[in-house]
Amino acid sequence: MKQTTLIKTADIAKKWYVVDATDAILGRLSTQVATVLRGKHKPDFTPHINNGDHVIIINAEKVVLTGKKEADKNYYHHSMYPGGLKSRNVKTQRQLFPERIIERAVRLMLPKNTQGANQYRALHVYAGSEHPHQAQNPEVLVINSRKGDK
């Protein structure tokens, strides 16, 4: 009889990574961050276990969108009242809440279930270069999403 080892959530060591979003392209940054949050970068990836790591993103206001998306891309939300559809373009969103641009892009790349919600909680986005997670000793995660990278 073959014996298998079970992975328990208590046995999973979660690392902390810090990512600088300065001049990073939004879509490329988001996909690589979502991969780390899900744990797909680890050799022991299991879809039904949350073995992803924590990611801290700094300088969220300096993320870049290609093309004319700065003026043309809209974010919609509804107040749940008749005629309550509201929209905001990226330029306005960047002035009001620059963190939400990255948060939304990453959240929509995660699974739409409880597992995805738990993985999303491991994302920490800050508009400036300072963050309150120094005690976790985050490692620098290099994201290949700068302009001109191959």
The domain spanning residue 120 has which CATH number?
A: 3.90.1180.10
CA distance between the termini of the chain: 49
> How many whole angstroms separate alpha carbon 28 and alpha carbon 25?
6
Residues present in the chain in total: 150
> pLDDT category, 148, cuts 50, 70, 90?
low
Number of domains in the chain: 1
In a domain, 79, yes or no: no
> How many whole angstroms separate alpha carbon 98 and alpha carbon 31?
18
In a domain, 150, yes or no: no
Max Cα distance, the chain (Å) = 64
Task: Report pLDDT digits (tens) over 3-55.
Answer: 777 777 777 889 999 999 999 999 999 999 999 999 999 988 889 889 999 99
In a domain, 1, yes or no: no
Domain that holds residue 35: 15-64+99-140
In a domain, 85, yes or no: no
In a domain, 148, yes or no: no
